[in-house]
Each structure stands twice: as structure tokens, then as C-alpha cells.
A = this chain, B = another copy of it.
């Protein structure tokens, strides 16, 4: 089993773990007991070599000649991703997007519960969105503390993104998901991930313009 122990997991691999996680849930629902790297690759839309390399960073969880035990691997990946615990989130910005995210059952299901919705527009405060009530911005620090919030989601216009990020960080948040079309700067102990619709559309238009496609086209696993 090689040597394993505490290896550093490459960023690119981390970014794919959620993909494997989802694929394994599929397998589980179909009552598959084991899955090969080939099958998992097809489900996750990557190639088999990558699956094996990625999973090898977690440890030697497969069995040669057989594949990976679905339940076991699922458990290990959950653990690595921290999905065995709860991650309360706050959304800042109760506009279209913020409200849609607050209602969005689909990631709430997986341990990321939205426990607060904040906006500083006085006409929004007090409104209810799903099961949440919009609270004013100045309650943020208390809220983060009392509800043990660990993730902040920015769903404001671009101009508000930086001040909101600063507020989240000074409230103690160290993980931020930014939907605003703006770069935010944060101290080095804070993680930011961004989701930017305009960017994605622009990338699509770049490739469409020249009749090319982005990414490694499709998964057609060819034995050389």
C-alpha cells in the first residue's frame, strides 16, 4: 500500500473530490457495492488515471482486481471534505440572487445550512424569505458568534462586495463564497471562492466565437 500517511493533497485534486463524492452517492443509490476507477471516471466526467491518482492521495482505499468499496470511499471522502459536520452559513444580500440561494434546497441538504440572511436596505429588513427573516447588517457579528457561522456568502452588487467581505472577516468568518462580480481582497488566513456568471458566459463566448470548445472536450476513454 505504498506509504501514505499525511500527504499534501493538490488543489486540483481537492476541487475534484466533491465530484467524486456526488458520483459515489449515485452509486450508493443504485446499490452498487464497489466501483472501479473506470466507472467512477465516467460518472465524474474525468478519466480513470486521474481518479486513481486523486484517490491515491487520500490513501490506498481500493482493492486491486475489484475496485473501491462505495460505502467506505464515500465515508473517507466525506471525512476529508468535512461533510460529517455541520457548516452554518450566512448570506449577505437579500436581492434576487440572495433570496434564491436562501431557498435553494440542494446544498442545504449536504450539511451547509443557511442560518442567517442579512441586508442593510431598510425595505428588505424584516421580510421573510423561505424560513428566514432578513436581519440588518449590524447584527452580523453577533449572529456569527451565536449561531457558530463559519461560511459567509456574498450575494450583493459588486460595489458592496468589499465592505461586506471586510464585515464578514471582522465578524470572524474565514471562508467566503463570493457571487458578486468583483475581486475582493482578504488577509492570507481567509479563503475565498468565487462564482461569476458573467465570467463563465464570456469564456463560453470566447470559444464559440472561434468554433473551439473549452476543456478536454468529452470523456471518451480510449485504450491506446
The yes or no answer to A196 lying at the interface (CB within 8 A) is yes
Query: How many chain copies?
Result: 2
The yes or no answer to A185 lying at the interface (CB within 8 A) is yes
The yes or no answer to A220 lying at the interface (CB within 8 A) is yes
Task: State whether B175 touches A80 (Cβ < 8 A).
Answer: no
- Tell me the nearest residue of chain B to A214, going by C-beta: B191
Task: State whether B223 touches A187 (Cβ < 8 A).
Answer: yes
Task: State whether A186 touches B219 (Cβ < 8 A).
Answer: yes
Can you report 29 residue pairs joining A to B where beta carbons are below 8 Å apart? A11-B214, A11-B215, A14-B203, A14-B207, A15-B203, A18-B199, A22-B181, A43-B183, A45-B183, A81-B206, A82-B202, A82-B206, A89-B201, A96-B99, A97-B100, A99-B100, A106-B198, A112-B205, A151-B205, A175-B204, A175-B205, A177-B200, A177-B204, A185-B218, A185-B220, A186-B219, A186-B221, A187-B220, A188-B217
